[in-house]
A and B are shown apart, each in its own frame.
Chain A
Amino acid sequence: MARKRKKSELHAGELNLTAMIDIAFQMLNFFVITAKPMDVLTNLDVFRPSPDAPPPKEAKPPAVIRIGVINGGLLLNDRQASIPMLRDFLEQMAKLDKAQTVLIQCATDSRHGQLVEVLDLCNRLGLTNLSVVSAS
């Protein structure tokens, strides 16, 4: 008799979990949708030389660093350079003046990834005045 009573008590203790699962899914949905995504994307700002822009009236000509992006390599002031060489040079230049213009000339057959690599390097060193032009 005592055994029988115990079995019936267990039966009475069963819970209907449907509502709890519904709430759990609602919360899961909410957190998935409102979660802030990781900062995986970035936008690299560049300027294009505008033909309408008035010429600068400075007495001293502005310092311009010319970087050439060619298929399979880089040019630094018309000389072949590697990324470490370019980094060392830009580091020195950034110490002097971070506002100086970096003119990036891209060959038409160069890869876009090379340009982004150079832009990223300039960003890392704090050089923000970047111009991109295309060279044939």
Chain B
Amino acid sequence: MRKHPDEYLTGNLTAMIDVVFQLIIFFVCTVSLQDTVIDARIRLAMAPSGRPVEKKDPREVYVDVAPNGDIRVLRTPLSRSELAQMLKKMVLDNRGAPIPVIIRGDEGTRHKAIQQVMDACAYAGIWKIKFAALKERGS
């Protein structure tokens, strides 16, 4: 008996829809981690005695400082003056209250570059800063 031509066109889409939903769930759940993901070029120094990061403040600003002294915020390269202006504006937007700044410097970065970030923080009126480090080296 010969099949009707329409029978060849019908397919079972269940598996494909399942995979599409899996992908949607995965991307929805991981998209918010993009902001805090560590820049792969920055090798953080070890601090085994540091307290683990428990709760995160949504106002936190991560400033990445590469070994060559490049300053980046959210992967955007900034000069020292641009960083200072940005932090100042954020402090003003926060009704003058200082915002938490976390400096993620490479272990080989010279302090001169870190000093530039600290000076930018000082310009914005931020006197308490944090240095990001690793409690243990991942495999």
| A residues at B contact (CB < 8 Å) | 18, 22, 25-26, 29, 33, 38-50, 69, 106-113, 115-117, 119-121, 123-124, 132, 134
Contacts and interface: CB of A to CB of B under 8 A. Distances in A.
**Interface majority SS (helix, strand, loop, mixed), chain A:** mixed
B51 A42 contact: yes
Given A124-B49, A132-B118, A134-B115, A116 B110 contact: no
Contacts, number: 133
A108 B135 contact: no
Contacts of A113: 45, 107-108
Interface residues on B, range: 35 or more
Contacts of A107: 111
B48 A41 contact: no
Contacts of B18: 22, 25
**Interface majority SS (helix, strand, loop, mixed), chain B:** mixed
A15 B106 CA distance: 55
Interface in B24-68: 25-26, 29-30, 44-53, 65
Given A48-B122, A119-B47, A134-B115, A112 B135 contact: no
Contact of A116 (B65, B128, B133): B133
Contact of B107 (A42, A116, A134): A116
B2 interface: no
Contacts of B131: 43-44, 46, 112, 115-116, 119
A31 B60 CA distance: 27
A113 B65 CA distance: 12
A106 B111 CA distance: 7
A41 B52 contact: yes
B88 to A, nearest CB: 15
Given A41-B44, A115-B111, A117-B46, 11 more contacts: A22-B18, A39-B135, A42-B50, A42-B52, A46-B129, A48-B121, A48-B127, A108-B110, A108-B112, A120-B46, A123-B51
Interface centre among B22, B29, B49, B129 (most CB of A within 10 A): B49
A112 B106 contact: yes
Contacts of B121: 48
Contacts of A124: 49
Contacts of B130: 43-46
Interface string B88-132: 000000000000001001111111101100100110001111111
A105 to B, nearest CB: 10
Nearest to A70: B111
B136 to A, nearest CB: 6
A39 B55 CA distance: 12
B3 to A, nearest CB: 22
